[in-house]
Amino acid sequence: MNNPVVLVIEDDPPVRNLIVTTLKTHDYKYLTAKNGAEAIMMASSHNPDVLFLDLGLPDMDGIDVIRQVRSWSTTPIIVISARGDDADKIEALDAGADDYLTKPFSVEEMLARLRVTIRRLALMNIDKGEDHSTYTNGKLTIDYAAGVACLDGEELKLTSMEYKLLCLLAKNTGKVLTHTYITQNIWGRSWDNDIASLRVFMTTLRKKIESGPEAPKYIQTHIGIGYRMLKVD
Ligand code: CA
């Protein structure tokens, strides 16, 4: 994707300037919005590639911006917020945000999150044009049509639950999935004991795909929040 357009939604001028200057320096195109209403209008009329969204906006809650944009668009939304509580992050992710950054943040981290999101977008675009039946990430491959996952060419002996979990993470590579999102997708509901079961399935799945539990290469844990499949080169 050449020079993606980022819509920066932030009411605080110094923070907005920092983000915009960083984007400009790294050859991204940008648009800005100072409040939620402007953000929704610009997201619909200018078709940006990625949204950077502050949650504390003067006219409405950023969570409502996510919900409204999500009602018609799948454009990635990266939340940049001073609200650092897990509950706030989970609310944003469950409303449809793709990632979050807690203020104060480093511009390097912001750029890294942006690159991950853009890579995921590029992957999704490739997917659209091709056969959906295979997934490749580092040494991990999934043949969706055959229902088989392999690591380094060796077939993995996965239980149906581990396979489902792996496919859900793979299809959302680069995106943080909350415990609730995962359990709702796998069991169609989210109870506390489902989240406990999820941890167990995740542990057994990881034993099969990661070389060491101390240094997971594929599945990243976001403590208290959820998991993310990383793109491995
Ligand atoms: Ca604000």
Centroid of ligand 1 to alpha carbon of 52 (angstroms) = 12
Note down pLDDT in tens along the chain; length 233 residues: 568 999 999 999 999 999 999 999 999 999 999 999 999 999 988 989 999 999 999 999 999 999 999 888 889 999 999 887 888 888 998 888 988 999 999 999 999 999 988 887 777 665 554 556 789 999 999 998 888 999 999 999 988 889 989 999 999 998 999 998 898 888 777 777 788 888 888 999 999 999 876 778 999 999 989 999 999 98
Centroid of ligand 1 to alpha carbon of 100 (angstroms) = 15
Print the domain residue range for 60: 5-123
Break the chain down into helix, strand, coil percent, rounded to 5.
45, 20, 35
DSSP string, 168-225: HHHHTTTSEEEHHHHHHHHHSS--HHHHHHHHHHHHHHHHHH-S-TTS-SSEEEETTT
- Please check whether residues 115 and 191 belong to one and the same domain: no
How many Cα atoms within 13 Å fall on the side-chain side of residue 213?
A: 5
Q: What's the CATH number where 32 sits?
A: 3.40.50.2300
- Please check whether residues 172 and 136 belong to one and the same domain: yes
- Please check whether residues 203 and 138 belong to one and the same domain: yes
Centroid of ligand 1 to alpha carbon of 17 (angstroms) = 13
Centroid of ligand 1 to alpha carbon of 101 (angstroms) = 14
Cα–Cα distances (Å) from 153 to 20, 136, 142, 166, 204, in that order, read 44, 11, 10, 16, 20
Centroid of ligand 1 to alpha carbon of 55 (angstroms) = 6
Centroid of ligand 1 to alpha carbon of 12 (angstroms) = 6
Q: What's the CATH number where 172 sits?
A: 1.10.10.10
Dihedral sign, Cα of residue 209, residue 214, residue 219, residue 221: positive
- Please check whether residues 117 and 147 belong to one and the same domain: no
Total number of domains constituting the chain? 2
- Please check whether residues 103 and 184 belong to one and the same domain: no
- Please check whether residues 13 and 98 belong to one and the same domain: yes
